[in-house]
Amino acid sequence: MRRTSIIAILGSAALIPLLILAPACGKGSRDAAAPPAAGVKAPEAPPAAAARHEADPRPVLGVKIYEASPPFDGLFRLWRELSINTLFVSEALLANGDFRAQARTNGLALFLIYPVFQGPEALKADPGLAAITASGEPARDEWVEFVCPTKGDEFLEHRIEHLRSLVAEGRPDVVSLDFIRYFVFWEKVAPDRAPKSLPQTCFCPLCMRLFQNEFGVEIPADLAGTAGKAKWILEAHADEWAEWKCLRIARTVERLSAAARQADPGVKVNLHLVPWRKGDFGGAVRSVAGQDAALLAPLADYLSPMAYHHMVRQTPAWVHDVVEDLSAQAGGVPVLPSIQVVEAYITEPLAAAEFEAALEQALRPPSKGVVLWSWDALSKSPEKQAVWKRLVH
Ligand SMILES: [Zn+2]
């Protein structure tokens, strides 16, 4: 009903690309339920590895790894011992031919982690690209610095072209879009956080103009300044504002996915999602982050909530709650929870027993696997490696 009403409101070309592209990109045309097919199209992949993965019913057992130094033999031997079958890697690692070849030889799927709107370097070069908060300030919270999703279109075009070239050269099995959302430092949002204290963006003049045009909204002429206009939008048109944000993110997913698939029609798409259930913080996953699971699922092959329970002061059982909530909205698209291995942002240690409990929860159906953040943390803990072996073997 919500989307129907938006189509009626828009009555324009604004939503058309989304509706046209969705079936072509969706699970109907792709085998979304299958595990990642490592090496299917990579020339260096042995046919046996490809065949093994196509038929492999095992869950995704993945780790996020951002950097590694050659030689890689020891790493791959360890991953074999740990039954790890999927690597979420940085652009730098994907670019390493030796690393890639060993992943293929060992039958490991490669997900390229690709940040979208987090852009500290771009913002250093051009601070004018920053997303703008409801008080009129650039959207920045410690290391989290976001580019405006519309004003930064040139930046986004550059990111899209760059992704196209990375897929053409590195041939990842999956592009894993990260920071594909609006600004919020969710890692520090505890359960008792007041929804209204969460940041709202982007109130730059271009975003406000496009929002008004697309939704037939008119900000009263007597309102001057960003803060007054933002307050009025959030009070008078909160639902439309949330819908506008979710559509911007969905359109961006479409553009990035289309470019990746131009480079390789077989490449799949995963989305990193803020780990908020639909009703958490008054629906902030849509209204603050701009991530609407029902809208995004048809555009993706996997959805991966960053269910880092310890940093957001939740229990291990919450990991399963997040997976269930997301699966209920995902229309059959596989949900791959990512969990944290070690404490971050808060000082209380994440004990091995608590890691074990979270891992158990992450592997419960309807989850299609688990992704550890990060390999670096697991590699430093023999105790947690033992937990992992016990639960995944
Ligand atoms: Zn903006």
Q: How confident is the model at residue 393 (pLDDT cuts 50, 70, 90)?
A: confident
Asked whether 207 and 136 are in contact (CB, 8 A), the reply is no
Ligand 1: centre distance to CA 136 (Å) = 11
pLDDT of residue 329 exceeding 90, the answer is yes
Which class is 2-392 in CATH?
alpha beta
Ligand 1: centre distance to CA 152 (Å) = 8
Cα 389 to Cα 354: distance, rounded to the nearest angstrom: 15
Ligand 1: centre distance to CA 150 (Å) = 5
Ligand 1: centre distance to CA 130 (Å) = 8
Cis bond before residue 115 (omega within 30° of 0): no
The domain limits of the chain are 2-392
pLDDT of residue 209 exceeding 80, the answer is yes
Ligand 1: centre distance to CA 273 (Å) = 21
Ligand 1: centre distance to CA 151 (Å) = 5
pLDDT of residue 5 exceeding 90, the answer is no
The pLDDT value given to residue 57: 64
The pLDDT value given to residue 125: 95
Ligand 1: centre distance to CA 308 (Å) = 29
Q: Tell me the pTM.
A: 0.87
Ligand 1: centre distance to CA 79 (Å) = 43
Q: What average pLDDT score do residues 100-106 get?
A: 97
Asked whether 306 and 343 are in contact (CB, 8 A), the reply is no
pLDDT of residue 6 exceeding 60, the answer is no
Residue 78 identity: L
Which structure tokens are listed for 220?
Answer: 């009263």
Asked whether 354 and 48 are in contact (CB, 8 A), the reply is no
- Which neighbouring-strand residues pair with 60? 369
Ligand 1: centre distance to CA 247 (Å) = 14
Tell me the pLDDT tens digit for each residue of 55-64: 446 799 999 9
Q: For strands 140-141 and 144-145, give the pairing.
A: antiparallel
Ligand 1: centre distance to CA 1 (Å) = 27
Strand order in the sheet with 369-373: 302-305, 268-273, 174-178, 109-115, 86-89, 60-65, 369-373, 338-340
Mean pLDDT rounded to a whole number for the chain: 88
Instruction: For the beta carbon of residue 262, count every other beta carbon within 10 angstroms.
Output: 12
Ligand 1: centre distance to CA 204 (Å) = 4
